[in-house]
Chain A
Amino acid sequence: MSEKILVVENLVKKYGGKTVLDNISFEINKPGVYSLLGPNGAGKTTLLNILAGITKPTSGKVEILGRDPRDTSVKRNIGFCPQDPSLHNMLTGWENVKLYATIYDLKWSKVIDRVKEYVKLLGLEKDMDKLIAKYSGGMLKKLSLIITLIHDPEILILDEPTTGLDPGARREVWDLINSLREKDKVVILATHYMEEADKLSDHVWIIDRGKIIAEGPPEELKKKYGPPSVIELVFPEEPSNDVVDRLSKAYGEIHLDGVKAKIYTSEPDKIVPELVNSIYRSGFSLTSLRVVKPTLEDVFLKLTGRRLE
Chain B
Amino acid sequence: MTMGGFKALVISTFKEYVREKALLFWAIVWPLFWIFMVAYVFVPPGTGSPITLKVGVVNYDTSNTTLNGTLLVKVMNETKYKDTPLFNVKLYSNESLLEKSLCKGELDAGIIIPDKWGINASFGQGKLVVLIGARSAYSASITQGVLMGFLEEFGKRIAYTKINITMKYINMSTNYMDITYNETWWPSNKSFVEMIRDFMIGLAEPIKVDYREVVPEVYANRPNIIGFYVIGAIGMMYLYMGFSVGASFIASMKERGVLYRLLSTPIKEYELILGGLTANALYQLISTIIIIVVGTLVTGAHILWNPLNPVHWIVPAMFILLLFMSVGMGALLSPLAKTSSGGSQIGTALGLALSFTTGIWFPPEWLPPWLRVFSNVFPVTWGIDVVRGIMVYNIDIAELTPKIVGVVIATIVIFTIAILLWRRIMAKYIEA
Are A and B interaction partners? Answer: yes
Q: Which residues of A contact B (CB under 8 A)?
A: 15, 49, 52-56, 72-73, 75-76, 78, 80, 82, 84-91, 95, 98-100, 102-105, 131, 144, 147, 157
Pairwise interchain contact A80-B261, C-beta atoms closer than 8 A: yes
Quick check: B264 and A88 within 8 Å, CB to CB? no
How far apart are the CA atoms of A95 and B262 in the complex, in Å? 15
Partner of A72, one of B268, B430, B431: B268
Q: With a CB–CB cut-off of 8 A, which chain A residues contact B15? A: 90-91, 95
B5 near A85 with CB under 8 A, answer no
Spot the interface stretch: B151-159, B218-226, B252-260, B351-359.
B252-260
Q: How many A-B residue pairs have CB under 8 A?
A: 88
Interface residues of B (CB under 8 A from A): 1-2, 4-5, 7-9, 12-13, 15-16, 19-20, 256-268, 430-432
A-B contact list, 29 entries, CB within 8 Å: A52-B260, A52-B264, A53-B264, A54-B263, A55-B431, A72-B266, A73-B266, A75-B266, A80-B261, A80-B264, A86-B261, A86-B262, A87-B257, A88-B256, A89-B16, A89-B256, A90-B15, A90-B20, A95-B15, A98-B8, A99-B8, A102-B4, A102-B5, A103-B8, A103-B9, A103-B265, A104-B5, A104-B265, A105-B2
User: Do A87 and B430 have beta carbons less than 8 Å apart?
Assistant: no
Chain B residues near A75 (CB-CB < 8 A):
264-266
**Docked complex Cα distance between A76 and B8 (Å):** 17
| 15 further contact pairs, Cβ within 8 A, besides A55-B431, A82-B257 | A15-B432, A49-B430, A56-B431, A73-B266, A80-B260, A82-B261, A82-B264, A86-B261, A86-B262, A87-B261, A90-B19, A91-B15, A102-B4, A105-B5, A144-B261
Q: B260 to A54, Cβ gap below 8 A?
A: yes
Known contacts A52-B264, A54-B263: A88-B258 contact under CB 8 Å:
yes
Contacts of A131 in B (CB 8 A): 19
Q: A76-B266, A103-B267, A104-B265 are in contact. Are A86 and B260 (CB under 8 A)?
A: yes
Is there contact, CB below 8 Å, between B266 and A103? yes
* B contact residues around A88 at 8 Å (CB): 12-13, 16, 256, 258
Instruction: For B8, give the chain A residue with the smallest CB separation.
Output: A102
Beta-carbon nearest neighbor of B254 in chain A: A86
Would you call A95 and B12 a contact (CB within 8 A)? yes
- Asked if A82 and B431 sit within 8 Å, CB to CB, the answer is no
Query: In the complex, A87→B5 CA distance in Å?
Result: 16
* Chain B residue contacts of A144, Cβ below 8 A: 261
Interface centre among A73, A78, A82, A88, by most chain B C-beta atoms within 10 angstroms, is A88
Closest residue of B by beta carbon distance from A13: B431
B4 to chain A: closest residue by CB: A102
